[in-house]
Amino acid sequence: MKCEEVSEGLVAYMDGRASAAERQGIEQHLAVCPACRTRAEEFRAVWNALEAVPAIDPSFGFDARVRQRIAAGPKRRWFEILIPQPRLALSAALLILLTVLVVKLPLSKPVPAPVQASEQDFNVIKNLRVLENYDVVTGMDALSQLAPDDSTQPAKQSSNDGAESND
């Protein structure tokens, strides 16, 4: 047995409620473990002291007198049932106050100033209807609709023409 198992079963062992197998296991452990043996001896000393104290029987009618005192105690009025305990009421009030403070306090981040819109921004917004139709914009091949720039081709041809004339 382990020390934890012995400490859990020590009271049952001292009281005589432990089974024979439990008693034998505890006795074997107590023979080898000095810490548990010391604890068992302390329990035995307390147990012997408690057995030396005489048991006091309650007087006749003790139970009836206790019940009468409980019945004679102050009765709660009907509206006192609705009033919670003071600590509970204070806790609820503080919770509500804290919630209100957290919600109402301003944010620690400053709110940025509004940006002034320029005339160019308004032109973009004016042409927004065209951009809203995404299919038209994605299907449009802008480069194929442009006319070729002829200014670069004649320059190449003139250099070629000059080369031919030199031959």
Q: Specify if 101 maps to a domain.
A: no
In a domain, 34, yes or no: yes
- pLDDT value at 10 more than 70: yes
Could you give the CA distance from residue 93 to residue 89 in angstroms, rounded to a whole number?
Answer: 6
The answer to whether the Cα torsion of 126, 132, 136, 140 is positive or negative is positive
Residues 6+ apart with CB under 8 A from 23: 13
9, part of any domain: yes
Q: What is the pLDDT of residues 50-95, one digit of tens each?
A: 888 888 888 888 989 999 998 888 777 776 766 767 788 888 899 9
Residue 113 lies in a domain: no
pTM: 0.35
Query: Alpha helices, DSSP H only, in the chain?
Result: 3-15, 20-32, 34-52, 62-72, 86-104, 119-126, 128-132, 134-139, 142-145, 152-166
Instruction: Decide: 47 and 14 in contact? Cβ < 8 Å.
Output: yes
Is residue 86 assigned to a domain? no
Per-residue pLDDT of 97-156, as tens digits, reads: 999 988 887 766 666 777 676 666 666 666 666 656 666 656 666 645 656 666 555 554
Residue 167 clears pLDDT 80, i.e. is over it: no
Please check whether residue 66 lies inside any domain of the structure.
no
Domain, as residue range, for 40: 3-52
pLDDT at 14: 84
Distance from C-alpha of 153 to C-alpha of 87, rounded to nearest angstrom? 93
The conformation of residue 53, written as its DSSP 8-state character, comes to: S
Whether 42 is in a domain gets the answer yes
What is the sign of the dihedral through the CA atoms of 84, 90, 91 and 97? positive
Is 39 part of any domain?
yes
Closest listed residue to residue 12, CA positions, set 1, 29, 26, 31: 26
pLDDT at 150: 60
Number of domains in the chain: 1
